[in-house]
Structure 1
């Protein structure tokens, strides 16, 4: 399944880590302090004007400059509500009480603005009447002020709402308030009353100077509450674009105002005409903007050079990586999140089964014919890299076979590792096929050598046994005991050699998958009792207790099943503590029969359990050694698995060890068919 783009090394452009803007910690600290200052300023100004200005009649607190609009009681109350809401909601994870109280204050501030706008539209007195105890006349905030309260309240209510495109509505609402407040401040600075007092309204109704100032500070405070989200990420970043924005923003806000204000003062003083003032403003703004433009260009040029250098370094590293992958003897596939192969090295292409026009389920043109170790077909869902791409499963290594286009079967060790994309989403997979043909050949030679040695050993052992029988037949009756004892030693050694040779032959057949079973209905209960009776002579003072149902039938080779039960009983006798019983139990669980052999003794260390059924493995530590070559449990496991069952062990060191094996139970229909045939 090598892709049609696999020949192009530049195709592999996937990055496994998210590209995010780093944040300037100093800016974050400044913005968090600004948020706290904005909340405190709004509460303080609102309280001073409401209590001192209107409660105690200090006119200088309500109107900073005589003749200009005053801050009415409703505006002061709204500032207190808005500042309180900002202070309560500014933490990223406020407590439930703070969140609830802050949202109530924000909702009240937004409701205040909506009611004031409704008063202007429907000529009502819903808001003005609430503060008649402070002023005899029902004075309303200006429409701009009411709109700012409405927008600020909504911004605080939507403070943590984010759209799918990672945009924050609260920031756009706060920017709108900042624009309204800044426009009013420019009006105060230039004397353009239409910017803070709408035409057609009664005298004295407009956005007061301190009201517009607090609104501007509040909007900045709301923007600073979540400085790493939405629009603010660009402002708080540590990269060139963010630094440029922070440097250009103050001149863009203050530059036109300062230049325009100076030209206006000169026109009013009669120093030059309005046309001359326009020309001066245009020229000054141009020369003021040139340095910032020059600085921005230099920074962007430097950023471009850094990006180009990074791209060259990344391209060089990618070329190195592709060269290494291409030279690897193992087949390497790199797939994207859709399963399309981005990279396939030469070893992978040599293992392709076909390069026809057909496509696999992922849409790849080149196909790999993956099968089991014995050539059995493998479903698409069982392929390691398919599981890694679709389900994110890790496959450290499984033995499979690859059938190439020329009909060869190549044994491989297949592994697959899923790639995590941005925010933990699936990002594809990397799969490796390692050709283990040399290892399989060495294994075949070892198995063949073992089998040959075992067969060759049988002849001298048989000769020794025949010679031993001849010696016993030639010896006179009533010979002394000291002459009979060496013959018993020879007889015992011959028996041990025969068992070792049989073990070696069985191990070779199991490894070569050439073990032959003569299956027929077998009663596990009868076989367990028969094996126990034969073992009682070796157990001596070790009582063997059997618990088994009356009928427990399975389909298997009776000689091989006896071999497994006898081996487990023999181990329990060898390694168990003297004078303690051995328990043998046969149980029926759903559609399988389970046989367990349990004994008390030193037990098996936990670190030994995973290696217990390997070839030639001998336990160490507290477990005493017995005669043998370490193939008994390995052969038992192979015999049980050849019957379609499984073998395992559990052990508590110093207390109890249990070996269990399970075999499929013979179904009722199979029993009747087998009995009829038999």
Structure 2
């Protein structure tokens, strides 16, 4: 279970660690220099007849304080970590040598040696600082357990000083004056608080610094548990020594007072736990209600919804998703799910497992939105869908699974099919009246040997122009319908592209209104394609350059031979195209702002060009600098790969 930590308490405890380190160094230095070097006896023995702080103890406190100061930062530098561990190891070694001297009756350290309790505290605290950042697999910190042991020893010694029980700070059987001094046990207890506070978000300290009810209860009860028994016991002891009551009465008073003072704390803790339990129960009921409400919504959604965990296991699959799966028994996918989804591209090609939207969301955390695919169901028919997948972020940004949605777009596809069919039918049906108008126009022009009267020449020319425009629009509609239905046919044959470009340019010179068309192309560049369709693309791009380019500026046509493709570019100077318009240029019926004022059309030219080039296995794109230059480029596969020389020609 993860415990949320109160940041304010954590910062306070970390500051306490630095303060404790400073206290250890200052007290040790003052006693060592002032008490022993300068001979100020009041610094070594705080109370007459009590144990003194010996030089070894003062030096050990300096080492422990220095080690804690260096290791207190959450991420100490390598130099700080090395120096802190060296100081801690020296303090621990000092304690170990002292204990060895007591056990084996050696005389290494002389008469001014530390007491056994003090030596044990040095040994344990030194090890705690060396192991400060070591954590077991279960999240336990050995350093905190060692520190708590020293805290118990030092607190017991402090209680001995407060109650007069000398056995708690001076072991029986040792020479007089050998024990844990008052300022020694005080500094040990402060250092224990500092070591525990240095890592307030790990191990046992998470319980103290947490934000939940249990942590708040521990923080409230801990001071009372530490000080309450001591205060009550000390008061009863003073009364007994003063002769106010007997020892049995003192015991009764202590028992009654502890009970009297303990009950409110227990009662308060019970109330807080009750409140926490009620809040948890209410949260659980709310969560269950919200989960049921959410599941009802998901189950009733017309779109297929999958919810997967971080391992890719399907946790939730609504009815719509189950109806779209290819199988729900007899096999497992790579994630181990029994619901199998047969995803294919619109062309019918199967989608590789690693490219499936919800696989990419789970495995790589990639967002996929509205990819057109088809799902083949267990009945053996494909359902066109828009597939989307969104990764779920867990705690601290870790992967938490994904949500996938499959939206059935069969009705939209049917409407699109009907629209394409209607467009094709209308375009075919328009051919007959246009042909009748053209025949009637031809009859009017040749009705008499001398031709129509002069006053009828201009109206007849208008009719002829309108018939040509209608025929071009009808052909555009038919081509758009063929492209959308993927029924466009190409008569592929080898095409000498350089020669083809020159022929097309010469044909367009009459419509260029005196503007130069400059061609830069290899002497020989061959591709495989439909020459009529390539001519249609070139004518459209050149026509647009003439219509929308600035007057009296040249038009540049460039053919570049690359490693595996031929690239043709048509450039002109003029007003250009706004950056936000570029992605929309090749959509059906799209007209750029102001284009309807310059030229007639229904906005299918570039859409058809794009479809024709893609049918050849190439691509068509545009680039433009507003107010300067616009370039349309398309690529075609190359047939021959010999290195050509480049020639330039201006028309």
- Is the TM-score greater than 0.5? yes
Residue number in structure 2 paired with 1:412: 385
Question: Is structure 2 residue 466 aligned with structure 1 residue 466?
Answer: no
1:210 Cα deviation from its structure 2 partner: 0.3
**Aligned equivalents of 2:322 and 2:245: distance in 1?**
83
**Aligned equivalents of 2:25 and 2:594: distance in 1?**
76
Residue number in structure 2 paired with 1:3: none
Show CA shifts across 1:50-72 (max 9, x none): 23222321111101122222112
Residue number in structure 2 paired with 1:378: 351
Match of 2:22 among 40, 55, 58: 40
Q: Secondary structure at the match of 1:629?
A: coil
Residue number in structure 2 paired with 1:505: 478
Q: Which moved more, 1:392-401 or 1:554-563?
A: 554-563
Q: 1:268 to 1:204 in 2, by over 3 A?
A: same
Q: 1:605 to 1:151 in 2, by over 3 A?
A: farther
**Aligned equivalents of 1:545 and 1:623: distance in 2?**
27
Match of 1:226 among 175, 178, 199: 199
Residue number in structure 2 paired with 1:643: 616
**Aligned equivalents of 1:78 and 1:462: distance in 2?**
111
Q: 1:373 to 1:307 in 2, by over 3 A?
A: same
Kept in 2, the 8 Å contact 1:114–1:147? The answer is no
Show CA shifts across 1:333-365 (max 9, x none): 112222222212222222233343222222222
Question: Is structure 2 residue 308 aligned with structure 1 residue 325?
Answer: no
Residue number in structure 2 paired with 1:292: 265
Residue number in structure 2 paired with 1:674: none
Q: 1:138 to 1:116 in 2, by over 3 A?
A: farther
Q: 1:445 to 1:479 in 2, by over 3 A?
A: closer
Residue number in structure 2 paired with 1:653: 626
Structure 2 residues without counterparts, runs of 5 or longer: 643-651
Residue number in structure 2 paired with 1:23: 6
| Superposition map of 1:655-674 within 5 A | 655-666=628-639
| Superposition map of 1:94-243 within 5 A | 100=79, 104=83, 107-118=86-97, 121=100, 139-156=112-129, 158-160=131-133, 162=135, 165-198=138-171, 201-243=174-216
1:446 Cα deviation from its structure 2 partner: 1.0
Residue number in structure 2 paired with 1:4: none
| Superposition map of 1:265-304 within 5 A | 285=258, 288-304=261-277
Show CA shifts across 1:104-148 (max 9, x none): 25522431331452355368888x6xxxxxxxx762333443443
Q: Which has the higher contact order (CA 8 A, sep 6+)?
A: 1
Question: Is structure 2 residue 467 aligned with structure 1 residue 485?
Answer: no
Q: Secondary structure at the match of 1:537?
A: helix
**Aligned equivalents of 1:116 and 1:310: distance in 2?**
52
1:265 Cα deviation from its structure 2 partner: 6.1
Show CA shifts across 1:557-603 (max 9, x none): 22212212221222122212222222222223332322222222211
Q: Secondary structure at the match of 1:529?
A: helix
Q: 1:654 to 1:155 in 2, by over 3 A?
A: farther
Kept in 1, the 8 Å contact 2:95–2:123? The answer is no
| Superposition map of 1:536-575 within 5 A | 536-575=509-548
**Aligned equivalents of 1:510 and 1:64: distance in 2?**
100
Q: Which moved more, 1:176-185 or 1:495-504?
A: 176-185
**Aligned equivalents of 1:661 and 1:20: distance in 2?**
61
Q: Secondary structure at the match of 1:370?
A: strand
Kept in 2, the 8 Å contact 1:605–1:621? The answer is no
**Aligned equivalents of 1:19 and 1:160: distance in 2?**
19
Question: Is structure 2 residue 278 aligned with structure 1 residue 305?
Answer: yes
1:431 Cα deviation from its structure 2 partner: 1.2
**Aligned equivalents of 2:634 and 2:124: distance in 1?**
74
**Aligned equivalents of 1:269 and 1:653: distance in 2?**
102
Match of 2:32 among 15, 30, 50: 50
Q: 1:650 to 1:169 in 2, by over 3 A?
A: farther
Question: Is structure 2 residue 426 aligned with structure 1 residue 450?
Answer: no
Residue number in structure 2 paired with 1:397: 370
Q: Which moved more, 1:116-125 or 1:346-355?
A: 116-125
Kept in 2, the 8 Å contact 1:109–1:150? The answer is no
Q: Secondary structure at the match of 2:519?
A: strand
Show CA shifts across 1:27-60 (max 9, x none): 3464345334323322332232223222321111
Question: Is structure 2 residue 42 aligned with structure 1 residue 63?
Answer: no
1:454 Cα deviation from its structure 2 partner: 0.8
Residue number in structure 2 paired with 1:633: 606
**Aligned equivalents of 1:201 and 1:562: distance in 2?**
112
1:479 Cα deviation from its structure 2 partner: 7.3
Q: 1:602 to 1:171 in 2, by over 3 A?
A: farther
Kept in 1, the 8 Å contact 2:5–2:201? The answer is no
Kept in 1, the 8 Å contact 2:305–2:320? The answer is yes
**Aligned equivalents of 2:5 and 2:480: distance in 1?**
61
Kept in 2, the 8 Å contact 1:603–1:623? The answer is no
Q: Secondary structure at the match of 1:347?
A: helix
Residue number in structure 2 paired with 1:11: none
Q: 1:336 to 1:204 in 2, by over 3 A?
A: same
Kept in 2, the 8 Å contact 1:119–1:125? The answer is no
Question: Is structure 2 residue 224 aligned with structure 1 residue 245?
Answer: no
Q: Which moved more, 1:590-599 or 1:448-457?
A: 590-599
Residue number in structure 2 paired with 1:83: 65
Q: Which moved more, 1:220-229 or 1:599-608?
A: 220-229
**Aligned equivalents of 2:279 and 2:606: distance in 1?**
64
**Aligned equivalents of 1:231 and 1:403: distance in 2?**
55
Q: 1:461 to 1:528 in 2, by over 3 A?
A: same
Q: Secondary structure at the match of 2:475?
A: helix
Kept in 2, the 8 Å contact 1:527–1:562? The answer is yes
Kept in 1, the 8 Å contact 2:53–2:180? The answer is yes
1:399 Cα deviation from its structure 2 partner: 1.4
